[in-house]
Amino acid sequence: MKISVIIVTRNRKEDLRSTIKSYSSQTYLDKEIIVVDNGSDDGTREMMSNDFPDIDYTWLPDNFDIRSLNIAVSRSKGDILWRTDDDSYPESSDAFEKIISIFSKNEDIDIVCSEDIEVTDGNKIWEWYPHKVDKINIPEKGYQSHIFPGTGAGIRRRVFNKIGGFWEFGFEELDFCTRAILAGFKIRYFPNIRTLHFASRNNRIPDDRWVKINKQLVRYQWKYMPVGTAFGRTLLFIFTATLEAVYKRIKLSAYFEGILGMMSVAFMAYRNERIPVPKELMYDITLGTSAFRSQYLFFKSVFRRKILGKE
């Protein structure tokens, strides 16, 4: 099996350099690296030309956000697509050996999720998985999952071939995984495959990210959830988004843009994108975790890490 590392970047030259070097050092030989650049003007183009001339690199004149991953997929040749960020890479050099072994032994596994280690936050594990699991005695097929962290996940090409690629920035992994589950694909979490995330602050605009992420979260609800559930969750997310806006000191203009955008995108998703999830698959796309619990766990984590300084 060939594995294709797909990376989207913008103005993170040094982060990208470290990431490429790490993936190049993976002991699994049948691999390639595909980089799509969303209009970097920090010397990334020159670095790629001078230091990595053999890497498949595409520079775009405009910022096409995370959807540029779809361009990377179209340029790739691998049987397995490794979705990652330009500031993330596996902790061990034999990670791809493990990934290929999992896929080779388990034809019924379509997406493999890795553990996310937040290096710049004291090497803490991002506890994105909603349930407590044994991370030492991991089952051969891993643990059932409904999403993967964007810092490191292996995806069979057949998934892209059937359901297409990612939507715009903001919960793109959640939307992708829900479509994958609806199409009959299986997602498994393997905490022994660890990805280091250096969480670069370059090219991040807090207000803009807050607006986009909250709009996409509401869009997801009205695309997939029952109407009553979508309405209740929207009210909850408006409340929690307000708390987050206060905590992050989001500008008032951005706050109103976000709230109005959440209402607008709810209407548009219901009208143009509606794909109600069958009742029998609801557990598979939520793992039985309510929106209230998800928000509670998020704010609890923020409070403990940022305010109390605890893990």
Please report, for the chain, the start and end positions of each structural domain, with discontinuous segments joined by +.
3-197, 206-307
Write down the architecture of domain 3-197 according to CATH. Answer: Alpha-Beta Complex (3.90)
Output the pLDDT for position 306: 54
Are 158 and 262 in contact by the 8 Å Cβ rule? The answer is no
SS3 of 129-197: the string is CCCCCCCCCCCCCCEECCCCCCCEEEEEHHHHHHHCCCCCCCCHHHHHHHHHHHCCCCEEEEEEEEEEE
Are 259 and 250 in contact by the 8 Å Cβ rule? The answer is no
- Strands (E) in 45-90, as ranges, are 56-59, 80-84, 88-90
Q: Is 134 exposed, middle or buried (0-12, 13-18, 19+ CB in 10 A)?
A: exposed
Residue in the structure block whose two tokens are 């090219």: 203
Output the pLDDT for position 28: 97
Output the pLDDT for position 181: 98
Q: Read off the DSSP letter of residue 127.
A: -
What pLDDT tens digit does each residue of the chain (311 aa) get?
999 999 999 999 999 999 999 999 999 999 999 999 999 999 999 999 999 999 999 999 999 889 999 999 999 999 999 999 999 999 999 999 999 999 999 999 999 999 999 999 889 998 889 899 999 999 999 999 999 999 999 999 999 999 999 999 999 999 999 999 999 999 999 999 999 999 876 656 789 999 999 999 999 999 999 999 999 999 999 999 998 899 889 999 999 999 999 999 999 999 999 999 999 999 999 999 887 777 766 666 656 555 555 54
Q: Is 280 exposed, middle or buried (0-12, 13-18, 19+ CB in 10 A)?
A: exposed
Output the pLDDT for position 203: 58
Q: 121: helix, coil or strand? A: helix
Output the pLDDT for position 300: 65
Structure tokens that stand for 286 in this block = 């939520």
